[in-house]
């Protein structure tokens, strides 16, 4: 059983520090906010799942460092952002494994959807100083795939309805999220 943490920001720049000593899932929901997150996996064998879901209306930068201080640690970081307007949104995502940490898994997946002409940037960095590590990263900036929209519309959904379902799936990207904990965020999705 993992420890679960919910974090919610709206219109603020905040810093968070976590020392992970047991298997942990962090759901971080953010509306029009930036900030910095600094995470250390300080106990051997622990895992971290970090879901950052962000709705952006003005210029913001989000930075996250995940440091594998101990061996056999495992991190999976998912950063999903929706850049609603024309401003810039930037993610710096650093997975860090020092020389002294062996057999770690360090993965990150980053996506930003530009709904209009916003300027979005992702810096997906893997700073790996040990040969015995399994590590992957991915970054995508763009719009929803047209083939997905076509498929959904071919079953009768309007363009708007298809986009709404895709947005929900994109920003609430884990089956385990307790929606009661994030009602403000769910309401905000409806406003996009």
Partner 1 sequence: MLEIKNLSGSIVDSDIQILEDFSLTVKEGEVHAIMGPNGTGKSTLAKIIMGHYLYKVTSGDILLDGESILHLSVDERAKKGLFLCMQDPTVIEGVSNSEFLRTARSTISSEKVNLYSFIKEMETGMKEVGLDSSMLHRSLNQGFSGGEKKKNEILQMKFLKPRIIILDELDSGLDVDSLKIVCKNIKNYMKENKKASLLIITHYPRILEYLKPDYVHILKDGKIQKSGDLSLAFEIEKTGYTGIKDVSHE
Residues that bind partner 1 in the complex, under the rule CB under 8 A: 145-148, 150-159, 161, 165-166, 168-170, 172-173, 175
Q: How far is the CB of 187 from partner 1 (least distance, A)?
A: 18
DSSP letter (8 states) at residue 9: E
Antiparallel, parallel or unpaired: β 60-68 and 88-97: parallel
User: Residue 190 contacts by C-beta under 8 Å, 6 or more apart in sequence?
Assistant: none
- Which residue, 15 or 190, is less far from partner 1 as judged by CB? 190
- Which residue, 156 or 191, is less far from partner 1 as judged by CB? 156
Our measurement of the distance from residue 15's CA atom to the centroid of its chain's CA atoms, rounded to an integer in Å, reads 16
Q: How far is the CB of 82 from partner 1 (least distance, A)?
A: 13
C-alpha 182/C-alpha 178 separation (Å) is 7
- Which residue, 15 or 160, is less far from partner 1 as judged by CB? 160
Q: How far is the CB of 30 from partner 1 (least distance, A)?
A: 18
Structure tokens at 26: 């962090």
Q: How far is the CB of 92 from partner 1 (least distance, A)?
A: 24
- Which residue, 45 or 169, is less far from partner 1 as judged by CB? 169
DSSP letter (8 states) at residue 86: S
């Amino acid at each position: 059983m993992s420890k679960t943490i919910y974090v919610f920001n709206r219109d603020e720049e905040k810093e968070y520090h976590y020392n992970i000593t047991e298997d942990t899932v962090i759901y971080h929901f953010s509306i029009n906010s930036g900030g910095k997150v600094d995470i250390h996996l300080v106990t051997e064998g622990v895992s971290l799942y970090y879901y950052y879901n962000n709705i952006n209306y003005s210029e913001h930068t989000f930075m996250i460092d995940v440091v594998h201080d101990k061996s056999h640690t495992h991190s999976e970081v998912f950063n999903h952002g929706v850049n609603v307007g024309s401003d810039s949104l930037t993610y710096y995502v650093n997975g860090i494994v020092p020389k002294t940490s062996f057999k770690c898994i360090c993965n990150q997946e980053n996506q930003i959807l530009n709904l209009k002409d916003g300027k979005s940037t992702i810096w997906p960095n893997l700073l790996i100083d040990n040969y015995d590590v399994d590590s992957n990263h991915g970054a995508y900036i763009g719009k929803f795939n047209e083939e997905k929209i076509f498929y959904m519309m071919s079953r009768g959904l309007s363009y708007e309805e298809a986009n709404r379902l895709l947005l929900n799936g994109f920003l609430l990207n884990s089956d385990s999220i307790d929606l009661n904990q994030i009602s403000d965020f769910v309401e905000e999705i409806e406003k996009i």
